[in-house]
Amino acid sequence: MSDTQNNPFTINRFRISVFVFASVLGSLAAWILVAEVLRPKQIEFTTDAQLAGSAYAQRDAALRAARAGVVRGDLWSEAAFAHGDVLWSEKNGASNPDEPRFDQIRTLVEKAITCAPHDTRLWLLFAANYFRFDWLNERAAYSLRNSFYTGPNSMSVVPERLLLAIQSRALQDDDFQELDRHDIQLAVAHKSTLMPALMAAYKKAPPAGRQFIEKTLAELDPSMLAAIRTENTQR
């Protein structure tokens, strides 16, 4: 047997290394397990009123799991999504910008974005929060831009992103128009799924927004434009 194998110092150093590795691995496993135990039934991004309401009921549990996860972006994202019910149901109403719960939601979404800046859904939530207050419209536009950049083809966010973008003053900007045009192109390509979203955006749009939709659809799909105009006239 070699001197190295008989050397007590070498053996002890190996044992200490194994113990340290096992301790780190065990701590990591415990960290993941605790967060998963606290984690409520998976919360998905949704703008559906009923589903968003169910998620909102789990907001405290989602926040506890996110705090246990510390830097886990998926958990912070779910905690932010759990508050979507508040944002989607009231985004078009007048609100007091000093209202504490919206400050709290904004802080929560900021934390989630810090941990998961690639998530286009979080940027859309951020935009929805800022869009409530006209004096923060520029920040809403910034958030919308990042939603376009991080998820240009993310179908789950197109309906609400289109709705907000078409009402934004940023639509006066040529670059922003190109981003918004892309979502309209998606709506044309997925007409069966996104036609209702485009109709809703047209209905809510200010005159400039309607003109933009009309001009874009006139180039891409005149029949779709005719259908939207007919639907809007009948209502």
Determine contact, residues 45/156, Cβ cutoff 8 Å: yes
Determine contact, residues 198/187, Cβ cutoff 8 Å: yes
CA distance linking residue 63 with residue 80, whole number of Å: 8
Q: SS3 of 7, please? A: coil
Asked whether residue 212 is domain-assigned, the answer is yes
Q: Which domain holds residue 217?
A: 152-235
Q: Give the percent of the chain with pLDDT over 70.
A: 89
Question: What confidence score (pLDDT) does residue 92 get?
Answer: 47
The pTM (predicted TM-score) of the whole model is: 0.83
Question: What confidence score (pLDDT) does residue 151 get?
Answer: 95
Total number of domains constituting the chain: 1
Per-residue pLDDT at 99 exceeds 80:
no
Asked whether residue 74 is domain-assigned, the answer is no
Asked whether residue 22 is domain-assigned, the answer is no
Determine contact, residues 218/200, Cβ cutoff 8 Å: no
Question: What confidence score (pLDDT) does residue 136 get?
Answer: 60
- At 188, the amino acid letter reads V
> Residues 119-156: pLDDT tens digits?
999 999 999 888 877 656 788 899 999 999 999 999 99
Asked whether residue 172 is domain-assigned, the answer is yes
Asked whether residue 173 is domain-assigned, the answer is yes
- At 51, the amino acid letter reads L
Question: What confidence score (pLDDT) does residue 37 get?
Answer: 86
Tokens 């910008």 correspond to 97
Determine contact, residues 132/102, Cβ cutoff 8 Å: yes
Tokens 């003053």 correspond to 169
Q: Collect all residues with Cβ–Cβ distance below 8 Å to 223 and sequence separation of at least 6.
A: none
CB atoms inside a 10 Å sphere around CB 10:
13
> Residues 29-85: pLDDT tens digits?
887 787 888 889 878 898 887 888 888 889 999 999 999 999 999 999 999 999 888
Asked whether residue 187 is domain-assigned, the answer is yes
Asked whether residue 159 is domain-assigned, the answer is yes
